Structure 1
Amino acid sequence: MPIDAVLFDFDGTLADTLPLSFEAFNTVFKTYDNRDVTNEELIAMFGPTEEEIIANHFRNEEFILQAIMDYYEIYKQGHFDTIEKDQAIIDLLEHLKGKGIKIGVITGKSRRAFQISSEALNLISYFDVVITGDDVVKPKPDPEGIYKALEILGVNKSKTVFIGDSNADIVAGKSAGLRTYGVQWLSTFQSSVFDIPPDAIFRSVSEFLDIMKEEG
C-alpha cells in the first residue's frame, strides 16, 4: 500500500543525541543532586520532557531550576563539540520529501531541546509536523502524539508508518494502529530488545530506504 506519511521518533532515531543527553543529565544529577545515575536509569525516566525528568527525580528540589538551565547549556554546547550531521539520515529525508511523503516527528523532548538539535543538525526544514513533549498530556507509550500528528497532516493511519528506537515508540505506534518499525541504526539507541515485536527492525538507514523505494 502506498505510504503518505512517515512519523519518526527523534533521539536515537533521527539524531544521535542520546549520548549527549545522558552526559547533560549525568552532569546535573551529580552536581546538584550529588548522585550518579546510569544510562539505564535515565532511559527508565524517559517519556516526559527534560524539565519534568529533572523536577520529578531530583531529591534536592531547591536546585531544580538551576539544573534545568545547566542541562540546556550543556546539551546545546555539545552539538558544537561532538555531534555530526548524518548523511544517511539526510538522504532518507530528502528521498521522502522528493516523493511527496509527509514527515512528522513525535518526541518526548521539550520544544526547546528539539529546536536546539533540529536546528544544529539542519533537520528542521524536513518536518511537516512536530509533536514534542510540551504538546501532549500523555507522552509515549500513549499514542496521543501520533493521533495529533495524523490529524494535523490529514493522513490515514493505514497509509502511515511510525519509526522509533524504544519500547515506548513501538507500543505507541501499535496502539495507534500504525505499521510500526524498530530501528537500531545509530550509535546509541534505547531498546536492544522490544517487548512488543515491531513489524520489522532496521539496523541501517539504507535498509529502510530500500523499502521506501520499493513501495514508492
Structure 2
Amino acid sequence: MMKAIVFDFDGTLANTLPICYYAFQKVFNKYDNKNLTTNEIKEMFGPSETGIIRKNLSNPNKEEAIEYYYAQYSKLHNSLVEVNSEIRGLLTSLREENIKIGIFTGKAKRSLDISLKALDMEGLFDVMITGDDVLKPKPDPEGLLKALSLLAVENFEAIYIGDSDADIVAGLQANVYTIGVQWLSDYQTEEFKEQPNSIIKSVIEFKQSLKVGIL
C-alpha cells in the first residue's frame, strides 16, 4: 500500500527553472564575464546552488557571488514563477487522504524557503530534504532514503516523483516506485536515459492513476 509521496521541487512541484537559470546567468556574467546558456547551467545541476557556484565559478569572491545569486532569485521570483493552483490542489488533496508528502531536492534550504513562501506552499510537507542535508547529491539516493526514514515508511510504500535523469536514478537506486513527470511548461528531461516505472504528463493523469489504484 502506498503511504508516502516524495517530490523533487524545481521542474516538478514548481516552474522555478526559469528563475534558477536567470540567477545563475546573472552570477556568471557578473563575476566571470561569461554568458552561459540554459543547457550549460543545466549541466552543472546536482549540488545545491552554493555547491554549483563554489565548484564552477572562477572568480575567488564565491561567497559574495552566492549572496548575489539569492538576491537575484528572490527579487524576480514573483515575476518569473507563477503560483500553480493545480499543483497546490494536488498537495492539499494528498494531505486530506492522509498520504504523507515530502520533498527531496538538490536546492539549498534558503532558496527552497524563498520559493515555498512565494508559492504559498509553506507547511504542506511532512519532511523536506535539501542539498544542504546530504553529503552526496542526486543521483545518489542518500537524501531520498533519509526522507523515507523520517517519514517512517518502507521503500515499497513510497513513490518518488521528479523531472530529471538524476531524480529517476535516485528513485530506482532507493527501490521506490519512480515517476518521471513532464507536467510543467519547463522541465529538465525530454527523454529519460533510465526508464522510470511510469511517465506522467499531467496532474490530472496522476490523480486518475491514484484514484483507480494503478499507483
TM over 0.5: yes
Q: How far does residue 39 in structure 1 lie from its aligned partner after superposition?
A: 1.0
**Paired residue for 1:134?**
132
Counterpart residue type for residue 20 of structure 2: S
Deviations 1:166-196 (A, max 9, x none): 0000000000001100011111111111011
> Is 1:18 aligned to residue 38 of structure 2?
no
SS, match of residue 21 in structure 1: helix
Partners of 2:39 and 2:56 lie apart in 1 by: 14
Partners of 2:89 and 2:19 lie apart in 1 by: 23
Shift >4 Å, 4+ stretches: none
TM-score normalised according to structure 2 size: 0.97
1:120 pairs with 115, 118, 121, which one?
Answer: 118
Q: How far does residue 124 in structure 1 lie from its aligned partner after superposition?
A: 2.2
Partners of 1:165 and 1:35 lie apart in 2 by: 27
Q: How does 1:188-199 map to 2 (within 5 A)?
A: 188-199=186-197
TM-score normalised according to structure 1 size: 0.96
Q: How far does residue 106 in structure 1 lie from its aligned partner after superposition?
A: 0.2
> Is 1:209 aligned to residue 204 of structure 2?
no
**Paired residue for 2:167?**
169
Deviations 1:126-147 (A, max 9, x none): 1000000000000110000011
SS, match of residue 96 in structure 1: helix
Percent of paired sites with the same residue: 47
Q: How many residues align?
A: 214
**Paired residue for 1:31?**
30
Higher helix proportion, which one? 1
Partners of 1:45 and 1:123 lie apart in 2 by: 27
Partners of 1:74 and 1:58 lie apart in 2 by: 17
Deviations 1:42-89 (A, max 9, x none): 11111111111011001112x212211111011011222222210110
Give 5+ residue unaligned stretches, structure 2: none
Q: How far does residue 123 in structure 1 lie from its aligned partner after superposition?
A: 1.0
**Paired residue for 1:105?**
103
SS, match of residue 119 in structure 1: helix
> Is 1:79 aligned to residue 84 of structure 2?
no
Residues 103, 127 of structure 2: 8 Å contact kept: yes
Partners of 1:119 and 1:83 lie apart in 2 by: 12
